[in-house]
Chains A and B, each alone.
Chain A
Amino acid sequence: MGRIVRTLVAWCPDWPVTAAGFEADAPVAVAAAGRVVACSAAARDGGVVIGMRRRAAEASCAGLWVVPRDEAREARAFEPVVAAVAALAPAVETTRPGLLSMATRGPARYHGGEGALRAAVAERAAAAVTAACGVPTPVHVGIADGPFAATLAARRQMSVPSSGTAEFLAPFPVGALGREGLAEILVRLGVGTLGAFAALDEARVSARFGPDGALAHRLARGLDDRPLRSTPPPTELVAEAELDPPAERVDVVAFAGRSLGEELAAQLATRGLACTLLTIEAETEHGERLARRWRAEMDLDAPAMGERLRWQLEGWLSGTAAEAPSAGVTRIAFRASETAPALGKQAGFWGGVSAADRRAVRALDRLGGMLGPEAVFTATVVGGRGPGDRTALVAWGDTRPEAAMTAPWPGALPDPPPALVHRPPRRATVTDRTGRPVAVSARGCLSGLPERILVEGGRPSAVVGWAGPWPLDERWWDPCAGRRLARFQLLDEDRHAHLCFVERAEWFVEATYD
């Protein structure tokens, strides 16, 4: 049996809400891709549940304020909290924005006991949160054996004695393990609590649920064996890069970090290791350094490393941290500080990976390196009304949002969609029989029937078919983003079909059915 590390966990409840600058008693939900990902206590009392559709949440809780998720903001706001806690004890590990942990053994002695350490961390962290987000929010701190139990202890704001870990864990539901599939099966088998799960025979759990199930079983028994399995790597595993010229923007550094992540992941893969504690170091031209340690439950793959680098830099470079750097970043390094044997899990791109996929991904990575971060894209279908609004370009290497917009979009244009979308729209002149420009009144009436069209840079042509006006009054509540326009389809005598719109009495061709 390995030594179990006494761990302190500091947890900011509903961090996305706090980071957005809202207090717990305001009914606020944070949504991403149409679903609630976090909500305030007041919203929870109003019946909002995480994972709910945004519409359903708005329906169930009167006066609910929904803000879009901004992970960069969450990371930015959390960096001062990490810095404040790191002033008390150096070896702070961030699991994700809103959750950090540290080993208590040394710091507890220094600060005069676990109780004193807990109080000091809670006070410093709460002060940092208040300063960073502008809302007084308590930070929950718990101490227990191992990070898993300590995280649950933080929710209860208590310190669990070494001998009482298993009893403390027993009443929690199996969902607390954070493994949805496993929890679902266990509940169906009639095993509802961690205590009941812990009572099962270890060998049988291992046979039925594999290595991950066995790990979950150990967690449930209070044997958080991370130190047993996760050790400093036998050799130094580092990937580092010099940035020349020094980078001042997060996206530039993050872009360089991507290939670095791949490099470290490749080093780990050849040794059959998975990274469980990643140290990210950044150094500026003036010699300022920032090192942060990131803890991961299972395995940090290359995209996850890149994401953490981005989180860390967002906080550092944006200057909300007390120690904002005075110059651009010149060096970044990923260091695998602790590793564990890889559990036979291979990271895949988009499900099944063929040789063609691997080749394509490598070539596109290479191309991204040649051209810079904003040159290679893939597209994804999103919601919208206009011809260019319904697809979004995603820079190569960024996470593709799920194509969730299969639902009908009222007010969208009739199919088939145009094959050419002009950016920006081309100016045009559309005139009626008398040669006057066709105008559309506020009530959607035409001043005359379209007879001729002249697209900028082309030659005039007679209109042989048209449809419209289809008025659109979009985002009228926002004086900057609001638009009022009327769309038309126009077919000219050369059989060119255009999608046009009139806005403020001017005609534009926004797309062509080529």
Chain B
Amino acid sequence: MLPAPIPLAPLLPGAGIRRGGLVGVSGDGGTTLVLSLLVEPLAQGSWAAVVGMPELGLEAAAAMGVDLARVALVPRPGPSWAAVVAVLLDALDLVVVSPPGRCRPADARRLLARAKERGSVLCVTGPEGWPESPELVLVAETEGWEGLDIGAGTLRARRGRIVVSGRRGAGRPVVVPCWLPGPDGRLAARRSGSPKAAPERVPDEPEAMPWAG
């Protein structure tokens, strides 16, 4: 098991992500969600790799608590990306890949077999182009942003939801309300899931803006 981020852990069998599995992450806020998956495993000594995501905001990753020294980045793997992922799955616990276009079914089967054999987790962003259905599907959704007004304030936190489904998830999709990210840049649990509920206060007082004045 690889440890899962706090808001998700209680929903998953064994409170984590099963090694040897395929995880699909997508949706509006999917990048933040995929970064949050890296935090806990890296803190426990695992290594991770991110393949094919040249636009990844590394500062956001650092703010979420990702230990960048243990993340290998292959921003442009080229046409042999499947071979790159195979090498990484051999040795690293978690490999995030954004496939450049559709993946050939033979490649997908080979990579998943490799992950099963080595006990690593393959995480695919934008799983629509992936021929096999992931055993755990995480879809991020945005309800709204806190802190930004018309001509005032700054973005501070996003009220988001994560929809958990897939064979290894619960029988039917479960919706987890969360801060995606919260004001400190991290993924955090949020109490109310209903947008109709009374507006919840953003945790933490706003700090003085360093760029003002």
Interface residues of A (CB under 8 A from B): 350, 354, 356-357, 359-360, 362-364, 366-367, 370-371, 375-381, 387, 390-391, 393, 396, 400, 408, 410-423, 449, 465-467, 470, 489, 491, 495-497, 511, 513-514
B158 to chain A: which residues have CB within 8 Å?
A: 497, 513
Which of B8-16, B127-135, B145-153 makes up part of the contact surface?
B145-153
Q: Mostly helix, strand, loop or mixed at chain B's interface?
A: mixed
A497 to chain B: which residues have CB within 8 Å?
A: 145, 148, 155, 158
A375-B76, A416-B60, A419-B35 given; A491·B84 CB < 8 A: no
Q: Is the CB of B77 within 8 A of A491?
A: no
Bound together, the chains give a CA A263 to CA B58 distance in angstroms of: 33
A376 to chain B: which residues have CB within 8 Å?
A: 72-74
Bound together, the chains give a CA A442 to CA B31 distance in angstroms of: 36
A-B contact pairs, 27 of them (CB 8 A): A360-B91, A363-B91, A364-B91, A377-B72, A378-B69, A378-B72, A379-B61, A380-B68, A381-B58, A381-B68, A400-B69, A410-B210, A414-B209, A416-B181, A417-B57, A417-B59, A417-B62, A417-B185, A419-B31, A419-B57, A419-B61, A466-B150, A467-B153, A489-B148, A496-B28, A513-B155, A514-B31
Bound together, the chains give a CA A378 to CA B152 distance in angstroms of: 36
B28 to chain A: which residues have CB within 8 Å?
A: 495-496, 514
B69 to chain A, nearest CB (A): 6
Interface membership of B32, Cβ < 8 A: yes
Bound together, the chains give a CA A386 to CA B187 distance in angstroms of: 23
Q: When the two chains form the complex, which single residue of A375, A391, A423, A489 contacts B55, counting CB atoms closer than 8 Å?
A: A423
Q: When the two chains form the complex, which single residue of A362, A416, A421 contacts B56, counting CB atoms closer than 8 Å?
A: A421
Bound together, the chains give a CA A311 to CA B35 distance in angstroms of: 38
Bound together, the chains give a CA A421 to CA B90 distance in angstroms of: 29
Q: When the two chains form the complex, which single residue of A357, A371, A411, A415 contacts B74, counting CB atoms closer than 8 Å?
A: A371
Bound together, the chains give a CA A390 to CA B149 distance in angstroms of: 26
Interface residues of B (CB under 8 A from A): 28-32, 35, 45-47, 54-63, 68-78, 80, 83-84, 87-88, 90-93, 142-145, 148-158, 181-185, 209-211
Bound together, the chains give a CA A82 to CA B156 distance in angstroms of: 58
Given contacts A360-B70, A367-B74, 17 further A-B contacts (CB under 8 A): A363-B91, A370-B84, A375-B77, A376-B72, A381-B59, A391-B58, A391-B62, A410-B211, A411-B210, A419-B35, A419-B57, A420-B31, A420-B57, A491-B155, A495-B144, A513-B145, A514-B32
Bound together, the chains give a CA A408 to CA B56 distance in angstroms of: 23
Bound together, the chains give a CA A277 to CA B10 distance in angstroms of: 58
Closest-by-CB residue of B relative to A363 is B91
Closest-by-CB residue of A relative to B75 is A377
A381 to chain B: which residues have CB within 8 Å?
A: 58-59, 62, 68
Q: Mostly helix, strand, loop or mixed at chain A's interface?
A: mixed
A387-B57, A412-B211, A496-B28 given; A449·B151 CB < 8 A: yes
Bound together, the chains give a CA A432 to CA B105 distance in angstroms of: 48
The number of A-B residue pairs with CB atoms under 8 Å apart is 173
A377 to chain B: which residues have CB within 8 Å?
A: 72-75
A366 to chain B: which residues have CB within 8 Å?
A: 87
Q: Is the CB of A371 within 8 A of B78?
A: yes
Instruction: Name, among B47, B143, B149, the residue most crowded by chain A CB atoms within 10 Å (CB to CB).
Output: B47
A398 to chain B, nearest CB (A): 13
Closest-by-CB residue of B relative to A495 is B142
Q: Is the CB of A466 within 8 A of B55?
A: no
Closest-by-CB residue of B relative to A354 is B45
Bound together, the chains give a CA A514 to CA B182 distance in angstroms of: 13
B98 to chain A, nearest CB (A): 11
Closest-by-CB residue of A relative to B154 is A414
Q: Is the CB of B83 within 8 A of A467?
A: no
Q: Is the CB of A511 within 8 A of B90?
A: no
B29 to chain A: which residues have CB within 8 Å?
A: 514
A411 to chain B: which residues have CB within 8 Å?
A: 210-211
Q: Is the CB of B58 within 8 A of A416?
A: no
A491 to chain B, nearest CB (A): 5
B151 to chain A: which residues have CB within 8 Å?
A: 449, 466-467
Bound together, the chains give a CA A364 to CA B71 distance in angstroms of: 11
Bound together, the chains give a CA A495 to CA B143 distance in angstroms of: 8
Q: Is the CB of A470 within 8 A of B211?
A: yes
B32 to chain A: which residues have CB within 8 Å?
A: 419, 513-514
A108 to chain B, nearest CB (A): 50
Closest-by-CB residue of B relative to A350 is B69
Bound together, the chains give a CA A400 to CA B71 distance in angstroms of: 13
Kindly list the 10 A-B residue pairs having the minimum CB-CB distance in the complex, ordered from nearest.
A363-B91, A391-B58, A360-B47, A465-B148, A419-B31, A514-B31, A416-B185, A417-B59, A417-B60, A359-B91
Q: Is the CB of A363 within 8 A of B69?
A: no
B5 to chain A, nearest CB (A): 15
Bound together, the chains give a CA A393 to CA B57 distance in angstroms of: 12
A376-B74, A465-B148 given; A421·B68 CB < 8 A: no
A514 to chain B: which residues have CB within 8 Å?
A: 28-32
B148 to chain A: which residues have CB within 8 Å?
A: 465-467, 489, 491, 497
Bound together, the chains give a CA A470 to CA B151 distance in angstroms of: 11
Bound together, the chains give a CA A495 to CA B160 distance in angstroms of: 11
Bound together, the chains give a CA A49 to CA B124 distance in angstroms of: 52
A359 to chain B, nearest CB (A): 4
Closest-by-CB residue of B relative to A377 is B73
A56 to chain B, nearest CB (A): 23
Bound together, the chains give a CA A350 to CA B72 distance in angstroms of: 15
B88 to chain A: which residues have CB within 8 Å?
A: 363, 367
Q: Is the CB of B155 within 8 A of A370?
A: no
Closest-by-CB residue of A relative to B35 is A419
Bound together, the chains give a CA A280 to CA B91 distance in angstroms of: 32
Q: Is the CB of B74 within 8 A of A465?
A: no
Q: When the two chains form the complex, which single residue of B35, B75, B87, B209 contacts A363, counting CB atoms closer than 8 Å?
A: B87
Bound together, the chains give a CA A449 to CA B29 distance in angstroms of: 27
Q: When the two chains form the complex, which single residue of B47, B69, B155, B156 contacts A356, counting CB atoms closer than 8 Å?
A: B47
B32 to chain A, nearest CB (A): 5
Instruction: Name, among B46, B57, B78, B157, the residue most crowded by chain A CB atoms within 10 Å (CB to CB).
Output: B57
B154 to chain A: which residues have CB within 8 Å?
A: 414, 467, 489
B184 to chain A: which residues have CB within 8 Å?
A: 415-416
